[in-house]
């Protein structure tokens, strides 16, 4: 049973007003997969012609639903599609039983919605290694189908939560030559994987009309700059899944490479990614790390992730300690190119270190003032080239230890 956790201090003030996306309907149910007294299954039905693209965990031990989704991407979109998600059990590392459970759920959804199996995508999130009670999900399919509604997306955002302390949603609209299109997305994740619990799941819907190849490419590219640039604890879920569906209900065509649509989708995905970090387990600080002047973008990302994942950097931030020595350490260990004596380090706008040493103008109280804020930027210049990267993370606190050490047994 998931403990009720206090809402993250970094949570947005409220769940946003999400627009209705033509061509999608949602329903939720209390199936009792693991939790009692809350919704734990969500169903989304997509009209015929909807394209579905996806991005998934790269884990070598990924779950049966993830493998099933990957198999199904790019299939015939004429009959429509559905997405079924449960929380409470991840159906990961469940052997042959896991494959059977995924088949049982997706086939039953296909039957009740009159779709081919190949157009039913599923996700599961929750405890690893326990058999998924798929009968509890299929028992609710008639109820779910009967209650499908175009404005159920906020309820869907709640049904997929596990250790999340707030539901996550984001939306954008774009005026294209053919008319206005809408994008709305929901996500769950406390920024980590886990057993008892977590995993990141993201579902994004648009009424724009986009071919599969163009949608898949756009989603893959933007994921690299958003969801693949956040880290809470460096651990990778066996179940991470992002699915994006374009229903075409607006009748407005998006061409591959349309900049306005891409920018709007980027905004939605970045907002959802940031919300996942803001719900990082035990998080009290939202941290942006910018690395510039690296030999390559890949090197910049390696340095940025080394800083973001360093337990010593993360605990210093938790302690509001402007401990720039730990930034130097993280850069040194990352494995990417760096020259100690060319480094510059800024907390916010405050120049802390340069020329291989603390800046002569820096005063510790300046750094300490930055560290007291709830949103912090750490800016590193390497002085070697043009490579740049930005990643987002949170601090490492007693709350993280409490959630993950004091939890299960």
**Overall residue count recorded for the chain in this entry:** 409
> Which x/- pattern, by CB under 8 A, does the window 200-239 give for a copy of itself?
---------------------------------xxxxxx-
Q: Is 199 annotated as a binding residue?
A: yes
Count of residues in contact with a copy of itself, rule CB under 8 A:
77
Binding string to a copy of itself for residues 73 to 92, with x set by CB under 8 A, is what?
Answer: -------------------x
Q: How far is the CB of 339 from a copy of itself (least distance, A)?
A: 8
Indicate which residue of 39, 199, 231, 236 is catalytic. 199
Token pair 């296909």 is found at 110
User: For a copy of itself, which is the closer residue by CB, 355 or 386?
Assistant: 355
> At 254, is the secondary structure helix, strand, or coil?
coil
CA 301 to chain centre: 18
Q: Please state, in angstroms and rounded to a whole number, the distance separating the CA atoms of residues 392 and 390.
A: 7
Question: How many helices and strands in the chain, by DSSP H and E?
Answer: 12, 16
Output the smallest distance, CB 287 to a copy of itself, in A.
14
Separation between Cα atoms, residue 219 and residue 200, nearest integer Å: 16
Answer yes or no whether residue 359 interacts with a copy of itself by CB under 8 A. Answer: no
Q: CB 6: neighbour CB atoms within 10 A?
A: 7
Structure tokens at 3: 């403990």
Looking at residues 374 to 403 of the shown chain, list those that interact with a copy of itself (rule: CB under 8 A).
395-398, 400-402
| Contacts to a copy of itself from residues 117-136, by CB under 8 A | 127-130
Q: Is 162 one of the annotated binding-site residues?
A: yes
Query: Is 199 one of the catalytic residues?
Result: yes
E strand or H helix at 266: helix 259-278
Specify the pairing of strand 286-294 against strand 375-381.
Answer: parallel
Q: Scan residues 311-340 and list those touching a copy of itself (CB under 8 A).
A: 311-312, 315-316, 318-326, 328-334, 337-340
Q: 57, 112 in Cβ contact below 8 A? A: no
Q: Is 281 known as a binding-site position?
A: yes
Distance CA 85, CA 262 (A): 26
Least Å distance between CB 28 and a copy of itself?
26
Q: Which stretch binds a copy of itself (CB under 8 A): 150-158, 181-189, 194-202, 256-264?
A: 194-202
Interaction with a copy of itself in 253-312: which residues (CB under 8 A)?
309-312
How far apart are the C-alpha atoms of 150 and 187, rounded to whole Å? Answer: 18
Known binding-site residues for substrate equal 162, 188, 199, 281, 404, 409
| Binding-site residue ranges | 162, 188, 199, 281, 404, 409
Q: Which residues are catalytic?
A: 199
């Amino acid at each position: 049973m998931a403990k009720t956790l206090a809402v993250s201090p970094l949570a947005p003030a409220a769940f946003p007003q999400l627009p209705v996306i033509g061509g999608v309907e949602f329903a939720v149910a209390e199936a009792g997969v693991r939790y009692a007294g809350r919704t734990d299954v969500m169903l989304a039905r997509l009209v015929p012609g909807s394209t579905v693209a996806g991005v998934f965990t790269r884990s070598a031990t990924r779950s049966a639903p993830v493998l099933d989704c990957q198999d199904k991407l790019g299939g015939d979109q004429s009959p429509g599609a559905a997405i079924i998600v449960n929380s409470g059990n991840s159906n990961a590392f469940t052997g042959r039983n896991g494959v059977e459970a995924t088949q049982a759920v997706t086939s039953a959804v296909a039957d009740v919605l009159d779709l081919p199996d190949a157009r039913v995508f599923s996700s599961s999130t929750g405890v690893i290694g326990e058999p998924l009670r798929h009968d509890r999900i299929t028992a609710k399919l008639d109820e779910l189908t009967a209650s499908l509604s175009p404005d159920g997306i906020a309820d869907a955002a709640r049904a997929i939560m596990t250790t999340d302390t707030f539901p996550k949603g984001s939306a954008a609209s774009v005026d294209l030559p053919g008319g206005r299109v809408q994008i709305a997305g929901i996500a769950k994740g406390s920024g980590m994987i886990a057993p008892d619990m977590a995993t990141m799941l993201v579902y994004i819907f648009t009424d724009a009309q986009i071919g599969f190849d163009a949608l898949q490419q756009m989603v893959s590219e933007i994921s690299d700059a958003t969801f693949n640039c956040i880290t809470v604890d460096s651990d990778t879920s066996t179940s991470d899944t992002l699915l994006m569906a374009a229903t075409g209900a607006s009748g407005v065509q998006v061409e591959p490479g349309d900049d306005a649509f891409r920018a709007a989708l980027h905004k939605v995905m970045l907002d959802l990614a940031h919300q996942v970090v803001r719900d990082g387990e035990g998080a009290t600080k939202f941290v942006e790390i910018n690395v510039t002047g690296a030999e390559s973008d890949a090197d910049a990302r390696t340095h940025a992730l080394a800083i973001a994942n360093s337990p010593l950097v993360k605990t210093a931030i938790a302690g509001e300690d402007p401990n720039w020595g730990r930034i130097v350490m993280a850069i040194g260990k990352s494995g990417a190119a760096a020259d100690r004596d060319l480094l510059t380090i800024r907390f916010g706008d405050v120049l802390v270190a340069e020329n291989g040493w603390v800046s002569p103008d820096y005063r510790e109280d300046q750094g300490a003032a930055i560290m007291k804020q709830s949103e912090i930027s750490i800016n590193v210049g390497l002085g070697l080239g043009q490579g740049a990267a930005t990643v987002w993370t949170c601090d490492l606190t007693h709350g993280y230890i409490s959630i993950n050490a004091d939890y299960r047994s």
